[in-house]
């Protein structure tokens, strides 16, 4: 499994070059293993408040237990947010509905996308509220024990114009240093995108000036319902992508070193649909992810055309990441280049590192760099400030041009 970053070498004057920017990233598959007993959480018994559908899971690990907050719906389409508790993340015991929908004229007549964070000595829940006129905003409720909640009301509103001027939803909140960061969905009639907002108190939010921070491509023309973990120096995002033809939701993955600039995996989606006849054959969506004992644990909802239910899958992040690639030429007329990078891997294991060179702006990688020394080859340990010295004069005696690019690849050896 590899992770690579591509940097561009730009011709400034004769034999002097400078790195401009990261151009793309390439990945191999990280396998998610769906639990054989899926779905692990289904609708309640006949007559219960959640007898029809359960969806939009959000799981926290609290006092050595998994707490599952979810949206439930009955046969009359009444909704609420419920809580179930588990010791293993698979077998669940319901505690009941913990947050009721609003009345006819309230902003949260309908509800969705709960996200719960234990912060500042209490539980905080940000969630989507939908009014009778279909206005969709993000609101807040707080609790001392995670069971009894007090609504605060809307805390993030639509912009007057732009990409999130029609609706908001899908909040995901992290504590970063001394503030909170919220990623959220928004739309203006075009496919949904992801934005970022910052807060000091969880109530008053300032939207990032250069929103949106992520939008769709091909399979995921619409993106949303993200769940983000910050592990070490990286933000890891699992998100819901919408493929228009046929209309399906599937889970994708992206990562970032600042929470703003995101690199998607080449092999998205990472959690595919189930086979024909499976409980999740039409949609896999609304991922909620925890990192526990060096294992990633994901709860997600699936749809078979009749009911929404919640499943469970596991994976690992024990794969290498390359960050902060830079390249510089030794003083002219030397044709040696220093290629520096940081190598990050959660389990600390050794890796195989290589470089690839392109002379056509990354269209092909046809220059074979055999004369390189330093932190390259097998047995490279994770850490910052790795250095490769490449003798370009031997490997590529032609004139270096402004189409030159170098790609650093780290492979876990499996």
Report the CATH number at residue 295. 2.115.10.20
Q: pLDDT value at position 403?
A: 81
Q: pLDDT value at position 25?
A: 34
Number of neighbours of residue 356 by Cβ within 10 angstroms: 18
254 and 358 both lie in a single domain: no
- Which of 265, 284, 315 corresponds to the end of one domain? 315
Q: Is the pTM of this model over 0.85?
A: no
198 and 330 both lie in a single domain: no
Total structural domains in the chain? 2
CA distance linking residue 45 with residue 211, whole number of Å: 43
- Angle at 350 (CA atoms; ends 345, 355), nearest 5 degrees: 85
165 and 17 both lie in a single domain: no
Helices vs strands, H then E, count in the chain: 1, 29
- Which of 284, 315, 346 corresponds to the end of one domain? 315
Question: Which domain does 181 fall in, by range?
Answer: 33-315
Q: pLDDT value at position 20?
A: 25
17 and 57 both lie in a single domain: no
Rg of the Cα atoms in the chain: 24
CA distance linking residue 22 with residue 151, whole number of Å: 44
Kindly write down the DSSP assignment for every residue of 265-283, as one continuous string. -TT--SBPPPPTTSTTSSE
Q: pLDDT value at position 321?
A: 81
Per-10-residue mean pLDDT, the chain, length 414: 37 28 38 95 98 98 97 97 98 98 97 97 97 97 98 97 97 95 96 97 98 93 96 90 84 93 87 95 97 92 97 86 86 86 85 89 85 95 94 80 83 71
Residue 31's φ and ψ, nearest 5 degrees, are -80, 130
Instruction: Answer whether 116's CB lies under 8 Å from 146's CB.
Output: yes
- Which of 294, 315, 336 corresponds to the end of one domain? 315
265 and 166 both lie in a single domain: yes
196 and 220 both lie in a single domain: yes
Instruction: Answer whether 360's CB lies under 8 Å from 341's CB.
Output: no
113 and 175 both lie in a single domain: yes
Residues found in the chain: 414
CA distance linking residue 258 with residue 237, whole number of Å: 12
Instruction: Answer whether 212's CB lies under 8 Å from 239's CB.
Output: no
């Amino acid at each position: 499994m590899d992770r690579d970053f591509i940097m561009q070498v730009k011709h400034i004057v004769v034999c002097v070059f400078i790195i401009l920017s990261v151009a793309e990233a390439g990945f191999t598959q990280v396998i998610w293993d769906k639990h054989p007993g899926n779905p692990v959480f289904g609708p309640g018994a006949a007559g219960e408040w959640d007898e029809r559908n359960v969806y939009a899971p959000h799981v926290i690990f609290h006092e050595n237990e998994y707490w599952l907050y979810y949206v439930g719906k009955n046969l009359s389409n009444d909704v609420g947010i419920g809580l179930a508790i588990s010791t293993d993340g698979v077998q669940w015991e319901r505690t009941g509905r913990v947050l009721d929908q609003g009345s006819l004229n309230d902003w949260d007549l309908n509800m969705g996308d709960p996200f719960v964070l234990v912060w500042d000595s209490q539980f905080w829940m940000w969630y989507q509220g939908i009014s009778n006129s279909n206005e969709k905003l993000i609101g807040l409720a707080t609790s001392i024990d995670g069971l009894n909640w007090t609504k605060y009301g809307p805390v993030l509103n639509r912009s007057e114009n732009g990409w999130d001027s029609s609706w908001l939803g899908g909040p995901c909140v992290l504590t970063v240093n001394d503030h909170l960061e919220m990623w959220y969905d928004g739309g203006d009639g075009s496919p949904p995108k992801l934005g970022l907002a910052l807060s000091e108190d969880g109530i008053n939010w300032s939207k990032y000036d250069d929103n949106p921070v992520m939008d769709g491509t091909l399979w995921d023309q619409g993106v949303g319902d993200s769940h983000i973990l910050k592990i070490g120096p990286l933000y890891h995002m699992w998100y819901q992508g919408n493929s228009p033809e046929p209309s399906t939701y599937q889970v994708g993955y992206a990562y970032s070193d600042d929470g703003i600039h995101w690199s998607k995996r080449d092999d998205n989606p990472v959690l595919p649909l189930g086979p024909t006849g499976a409980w999740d054959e039409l949609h896999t969506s609304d991922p909620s992810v925890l990192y526990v004992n060096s294992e990633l644990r994901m709860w997600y909802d699936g749809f078979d055309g009749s009911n929404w239910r919640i499943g469970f899958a596991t994976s690992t992040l024990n794969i290498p990441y390359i960050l902060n690639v830079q390249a510089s030429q030794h003083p002219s007329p030397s044709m040696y280049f220093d290629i520096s990078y940081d190598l990050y891997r959660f389990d600390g294991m050794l890796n195989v590192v290589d470089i690839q060179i392109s002379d056509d702006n990354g269209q092909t990688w046809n220059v074979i760099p055999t004369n390189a020394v330093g932190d390259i080859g097998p047995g490279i340990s994770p850490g910052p400030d790795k250095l490769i010295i490449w003798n370009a004069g031997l490997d590529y005696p032609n004139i270096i041009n402004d189409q030159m690019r170098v790609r650093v690849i780290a492979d876990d050896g499996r």
